[in-house]
Chain A
Amino acid sequence: MEWKHRHVLDLKDWKREDILFLLDQAKNMDNLIDRPIKKVPALRGKLVVNLFFEASTRTRVSFELAEKLLSADVVNWSASGSSVSKGETLRDTAWTLEAMGADAVVVRHGASGSAHYLARKLKRAVVFNGGDGAYSHPTQALLDAYTAWKSFPNLEGRKMAILGDVLHSRVARSDIQVFRTLGCEIVLSGPETLMPFDVKSLGVTYEPDPWKAVKNADIVYLLRIQRERQEEGLFPSLDEYHLRFGADEKLVSKAKEGALVMHPGPINRRVEIDSSIADGTQSRILQQVRSGVAVRMALLYLCLGGVMA
């Protein structure tokens, strides 16, 4: 297998076989996590910089763990207290990192397209998109696919319902790319004001009634609802959101028996999800966290371990 993806920026050009290969590689990494000595020397001597312009403990820690398990040298560069806050441009930051010898940069940035931008500016280092604006969060989508794939080895023809703020969600956009490529049918639900203007262009359908959207679904994917959106006037209150779209036992019971409930975290209990669902048997939320390390290890290994450098 020849690995074609130099950077991991979005999943637009990922084919089905690329995803399945990645999932298979992640499985081998996953086994590693159970061993008494978890660390392998695969990326010994490689310098990985985690460049975070937005606070994100989960994604950063997951990447950091994956990097350390592969023996890479890890530097965390966060926007607060660094030159970024003094007005240094992303371009200059990129060149600075490269001058320091970074082999890879994991970037989290509030602007859609910033991972692509960074990749254009770096001559040598590989870029992993740790989430850019509302555009893409490819590693999250791949870990979601991995989590689902472990329960459903064939995802072809499965129904996935995504509930919540799709408009502002990079997770939703990336998950749609991956799960569609794997053959899933995807239905979105949530307040119309939190939907992208042209849902059709995403290759999915919109069902305003969450009960209908969840009906017969194999996967119920819940997105985090942010209070700021209420403040922007896109929906009246968290309470009303919960009443109309919150996932409780009644709503989830409409899905197929054994359907998976997933959420990218961190969860808002009693907003988009009830504790009975979050902590219930169908929940895969903690498995998603574990999958994140394995999937990121596989990506780091594939993009950094081979012909590059």
Chain B
Amino acid sequence: MILFKNATLFDGKTFYEGTLDLLVREGIIETFGQNVSAPGAEILDLGGKVLSPGFVDLHCHMRDPGFEWREDIESAAAAAAAGGFSTAVAMPNTDPAVDNDALVRYVIEKGIRAGYSRILPAGAVTKRREGKELAEMGKMASAGCVLFTDDGAPVGSSRLFRTALQYSQSLKVRIMEHPEDTSLSRGGQVNEGRCSSLAGLKGIPASAEEIGVFRAISLSRETGVPVHLTHLSTRESVSLVREAKKEGLAVTCDVTPHHLRFSEESVIESGFDSRFKVNPPLRSSDDIESLWEALADGTVDAIATDHAPWHLDEKDLPFPEAPFGIASIECAFPGVFTCWLNRGKPFGLDRLLALFTSGPASLLPGEWPSHGRLTRLGKADLVVLDMDLERKVAVEEWKSKARLSPWEGLSLFGWPVLTMVEGRVVFDRSRE
């Protein structure tokens, strides 16, 4: 039994006035309000700190099974907890790919055994992620898979994508598409634009992503099946989603912390540091502006980390030889929050927090959307945030196995200080 006193309560969409108390008993939010008392409860006086539903990450590479030297479910779950995420969705681009119900159960069970944040599996759309035949989506959905995606790559062909949308409709599990026309992006290293021109590195044009976005929207329109687009990075991409939403289509999207913070200039200024190598590539500063506009006007539904850890030896290479991917789950919220501060708070904090809580949770099936809200008798998935705490990102202290990140050394505000999953404290900064 834990009683939070003097919390600034965020319910997943809005803040309550003043400070309130909240009581957690047996994994459930028993009550909240003024002057809650509970004899025998452990009391945590938050002194006005924010108490929010725990964050939900729709897009996290846990590299397990198959690449455990880069990350495994245990290290990823601990890292997620430290980042304030009480739930994280594991991507299926593993070895073997998560393309059947046995592997879906493996991810869930290994997540439970780890005992940190809740790990939910995403299943592959196609067998072995080869983009040829549909995976057993029905069995995976029954086993608890919460998204379908061939992430790391788009769904192989438009025909197959269309079929997958139709087939998955009754399963109520969304397809999350990584939009990319690989014939345009193949061999690319950086944004096609200033960076490719100055660096002499092969560019990945914005059109490679935008054609993928257009394809997904078009198929969603035709089939009437929802589709989720992940890690959008260009002005035109979010503009396409904005128009689709206006049209009333069930098209949703997320953006990553790094695309909100870093531009292609970082690649050049860092002297081609592979920490800045990611797909989709870091784009222009105008693209960053467009993403912030899309956060403000509700075009973007969630901020997802696309946490992509690599072993130091694999990532610490000359830029063109290094793999794509940025690790960030332990500093994702502070990273975005600090940008939001530096931009002069372009919209309400409630909107920003919703992008980490109710926004992503609402895209998951079954009971999971409720985990993004804070309700009486709801599951106690919570995070306490210290908006005034300033810390430098220190990657060597991470619970994640990643040891390179472009966030390293940046001074950020808004750190999670306590993360709770169904009443269990899975991260407590005061005990670190």
Interface residues of A (CB under 8 A from B): 9, 89-91, 109-114, 116-117, 119-120, 133-136, 167-170, 173, 196-199, 201-202
Contacts and interface: CB of A to CB of B under 8 A. Distances in A.
A119 B317 CA distance: 12
6 contacts: A109-B318, A113-B201, A117-B274, A134-B201, A169-B200, A196-B196
Given A9-B271, A90-B318, A198-B196, 10 more contacts: A91-B316, A111-B321, A117-B274, A136-B200, A167-B200, A169-B200, A170-B200, A196-B197, A201-B198, A202-B198
Nearest to A89: B317
Contact of A168 (B200, B205, B272, B319): B200
Interface of B: 189, 192-194, 196-201, 203, 205, 271-274, 313, 316-321
Q: Which 8 A-B pairs have the closest CB atoms?
A: A113-B272, A134-B200, A116-B271, A196-B197, A114-B318, A201-B194, A113-B319, A111-B318
Nearest to A199: B197
Contacts of B205: 197
A65 to B, nearest CB: 27
A170 B201 CA distance: 10
Contacts of B273: 116, 120
A13 B283 CA distance: 23
Contacts of A133: 200-201, 320
Contacts of B200: 112, 133-136, 167-170, 173, 196
A114 B201 CA distance: 12
A118 to B, nearest CB: 8
Nearest to B317: A89
Nearest to A118: B318
A114 B196 CA distance: 16
Nearest to A120: B271
A89 B274 CA distance: 14
Nearest to A90: B318
Nearest to B319: A113
B73 to A, nearest CB: 28
Name the residue in A170, A173, A199 with the highest tally of chain B Cβ atoms < 10 Å from its Cβ. Answer: A173
A201 B319 contact: no
Contact of A89 (B189, B196, B313): B313
Contacts of A197: 192-193, 196-197, 203, 205
Nearest to B268: A12
A232 to B, nearest CB: 10
Given A9-B271, A120-B271, A112 B319 contact: yes
B194 A112 contact: no
Given A117-B319, A133-B320, A112 B193 contact: no
Contacts of B203: 197
A197 B200 CA distance: 10
A170 B313 CA distance: 28
B318 A135 contact: no
Nearest to A196: B197
A169 B274 CA distance: 22
A116 B272 contact: yes
A151 B274 CA distance: 42
Given A111-B320, A111-B321, A197-B203, A202 B197 contact: yes
Contacts of A90: 317-318
A201 B193 contact: yes
Nearest to A113: B272
Contacts of B199: 112-113, 134-135
A190 to B, nearest CB: 14
Name the residue in B203, B272, B319 with the highest tally of chain A Cβ atoms < 10 Å from its Cβ. Answer: B272
Contact of A112 (B272, B316, B317): B272
Contacts of A136: 200
B318 A113 contact: yes
B1 to A, nearest CB: 52
Nearest to B205: A197
Nearest to A134: B200
B193 A173 contact: no
A17 to B, nearest CB: 23
Nearest to A135: B200
Given A89-B313, A133-B320, A198 B272 contact: no
Contact of A113 (B193, B196, B271, B316): B271
A72 B65 CA distance: 53
A43 B196 CA distance: 38
A116 B275 CA distance: 14
Contacts of B316: 91
Contacts of B198: 173, 196, 201-202
Contacts of B271: 9, 113, 116-117, 119-120
A119 B271 CA distance: 10
A112 B201 contact: yes
A92 to B, nearest CB: 10
Nearest to B189: A112
A273 B368 CA distance: 68
